[in-house]
Structure 1
């Protein structure tokens, strides 16, 4: 069993704990993420341009980069959008964060990095299992991300983890990740996301047997 297939069971359990609102956000973003990934991997110049624009939005406030509105705040269901008086909603911040991180992850890759059913917690857990020399540092960064109180604080820790996942050839379900980010920014849902991430992070061994680098060669391919 590949790492991607083993991870699906872990993420399915987490999905049942997500609120309907946050699952709805993931469903809204999924087609856009799939299309961008598929077109990029086929060598589409327009997809490359879209992803380059998304990368320019990294670390910037949601809605501040007009060129990426279509893929970020424009993809959020109207019921979850912010108002003129409140600024970007949690869902809009989450969509912006997830899509810009996805664009970073996919850059220069020849295989998919959006793995449906693979939770962020499981992916980082696999990374820690594979890289024993840096396991403690990865764990500390992951825990810092899970306890972040704002999207800016979250991105400080997550961006480094995405760089490491990219180098290790490990993907993430970015649609579900967007829902998780929105939930982390929602005080009433924050603890449930931390619970799911913690479970997934520490259940990598039981799901995949072990975390050796040879377990998941080409797991992102169709």
Structure 2
């Protein structure tokens, strides 16, 4: 029996998808920032999978520890793996050539995108990209459009909570649940206030 998604817009504890993403990214992020050759190589492999179906990129198989996903029988396994790999590949693009951690807790997608804009202004081109991302009809196309946003975030050194994103990508795949994810992105965009901006912890998933 597959775990039923929470009501749209309801804030819940992360599933094993989000916690696994947070654990794996934190591990690789520490290694990458420490210039460990194995972590640098792993990120290069992950980047090659960005915007592509994970099942079509054999180089990713065995790269991540996905055992926690299979320890949760109520997860939809295919959707869980799809979400995990998508989030991990996007983070690898985001972290490339960055000396600071780009996985940052409590920084949701909408708030991160809002920081691309000047205080008190709405950048029409960036807003259009954000809206297009929300209208993607498939996970593969969603990944492509998220990559466009992630590239902009990397340019400006703006971090993102990839544990939360992984969980959102998991729920997004359930029929009728994409709207709830889009609403969460929109809320975090409109709720962000630059004068309240802080520097959240870099490592580890958000769990509440």
Length-normalised TM-score, structure 1: 0.76
Q: 1:200 to 1:40 in 2, by over 3 A?
A: same
Q: 1:188, CA displacement in angstroms?
A: 3.3
Aligned CA-pair RMSD:
2.8
Matching residue within 162, 165, 187 for 2:153: 165
For residues 175-214 of structure 1, what are the structure 2 equivalents within 5 Å? 175-205=163-193, 208-209=194-195
CA contact (8 A) 2:83 2:166 kept: yes
Q: 1:120, CA displacement in angstroms?
A: 1.1
What per-residue deviation string (whole Å, max 9, x for no partner) do you get for residues 23-54 of structure 1? 33101221111000011001100000000011
What per-residue deviation string (whole Å, max 9, x for no partner) do you get for residues 81-135 of structure 1? 54xxxxxx22221111111110011111100000011111111122134695x81
Q: Bigger shift: 155-164 or 185-194?
A: 185-194
CA distance in 2, matches of 1:68, 1:49: 12
CA contact (8 A) 2:107 2:159 kept: yes
CA distance in 2, matches of 1:144, 1:23: 27
CA distance in 2, matches of 1:138, 1:147: 15
Length-normalised TM-score, structure 2: 0.81
Q: 1:202 to 1:75 in 2, by over 3 A?
A: farther
Q: Which runs of 5+ in 1 are unaligned?
A: 1-15, 83-88
CA distance in 2, matches of 1:181, 1:76: 17
- Structure number with the higher helix fraction is 1
Counterpart for residue 44 of structure 1: 36
Counterpart for residue 5 of structure 2: none
Counterpart for residue 149 of structure 1: 137
For residues 103-114 of structure 1, what are the structure 2 equivalents within 5 Å? 103-114=92-103
Q: 1:17, CA displacement in angstroms?
A: 2.0
Q: Which runs of 5+ in 2 are unaligned?
A: 1-8, 204-208
CA contact (8 A) 2:24 2:65 kept: no
SS of the aligned residue for 2:117 comes to helix
Matching residue within 23, 26, 50 for 2:18: 26
CA contact (8 A) 1:91 1:182 kept: yes
Counterpart for residue 17 of structure 1: 10
CA distance in 2, matches of 1:64, 1:190: 24
Counterpart for residue 77 of structure 1: 69
CA distance in 2, matches of 1:36, 1:75: 17
CA contact (8 A) 2:103 2:202 kept: no
CA contact (8 A) 2:47 2:89 kept: yes
Q: 1:69, CA displacement in angstroms?
A: 2.4
